Amino acid sequence: MPTPVFLPVGSQATVKTVTPDELKDIGFKMILANTYHLYLRPGIDIIKKLGGLHRFMSWDGAMLTDSGGFQVFSLARLSRVNDDGVTFRSHIDGSEHLITPELCIRLQEEMGADVIMVLDQCPPVQDSIEKVSEATGRTHRWAERCLKAHTRADQHLFGIVQGGFSAELRHASARYLTSLDFPGYAIGGLSLGETKSLTYNMIDETVPLLPADKPRYLMGVGAPDDILNSVSRGIDIFDSVLPTRVARNGGFFTRAGRQNIRNSMWKEIEQPVDPDCSCYTCRNFSAAYVHHLFRCEELLAYRLMTLHKLTFIQDLLKNIRQSILDDTFASFRDGFLSGYRATDEQLRISQKQKWLNTWNRTED
């Protein structure tokens, strides 16, 4: 798997609005699915009976399954956590469930993903340092139990560094997890509504303590400027619902920054949404046409914009990889960021908080 790599998110065994063949045509070699969603619907037994997750969704590339810990704490109507595991009520039908580290591993083993994740406790941004410390310690104990429960040699089990926004806790978490010798390490608990400078600071505090010869995965990050700044700090793997979710709301990326096709300025534009893009949408349709589809709420609108957004991200990662091989990454990064207008920080934080506070939401 060439890195840096971005994983499109298909929480419910599908990347919304696009087919597996389209993902492969764009160039993606790895995707993400979510244990929480698939455990609740259709059920892991059904996926196992039908040949595993790859066969179930007709994806023959690499696959990572998230443990579902974040979703348990953010989506479930009610959750109670102790050292045994987390008890929660389904956001779908209110049924009660208990997920332990051992069960989390068994479910992911039965689905058959190539990379699976430990069960961790991701504390909310507003939690006190005492609660964050308690959650970090529990994450460590759960990680050890996950490692002991893991039996499939054909799957890589990654540990997840937690610690909130405390450099001391991040250091302790990275040191503890690396002592367990996982084949890869994720950095969790970031991009939850904090400032970007704080996100980058926590990456800076964590990455130097992770093995340089093992993949480092920053969970939940997918904006172009964040990808470039995180690659600079040693991150290899990214995932986020941002590209596909924003696309379905009319947002799209260009080298100049994020735009929105719903704005009236696009209604007479004959050129594609991004003249520099070679995606199916930009090769075949005008911005005026895509604007029209969104204004009419036609389903094709969401497909066309998602294809563009995913192509933009994949092209960015391809260029990043080539610049690293050419030893020109720093100049590529600086050149891209000099022309890219990032979303206003306060607007971004308020939008993120609104999303986090939305009750009974679903993910990609």
Positions marked catalytic = 66, 239
Do residues 80 and 138 touch, judged by C-beta distance below 8 A?
no
Nearest to 235 by CA among 70, 1, 5: 5
Q: Which two tokens stand for residue 125?
A: 């941004």
Q: At residue 246, what are phi and psi to the nearest 5 degrees?
A: -65, -35
What is the largest distance, in Å, between two alpha-carbon atoms of the chain?
60
H helix intervals, the chain: 20-26, 35-40, 44-49, 53-56, 69-75, 101-111, 129-149, 167-179, 196-206, 224-231, 242-248, 280-284, 287-295, 299-325, 329-339, 345-357
What is the DSSP pairing of strand 30-34 with strand 5-8? unpaired
| CA 5 to chain CA centroid, nearest Å | 11
Is residue 241 within 8 A of residue 364, CB to CB? The reply is yes
Burial (0-12, 13-18, 19+ Cβ within 10 Å), 110: middle
- Closest CA relative to residue 154, chosen from 115, 104, 103: 115
Under 8 Å between Cβ of 79 and 95: no
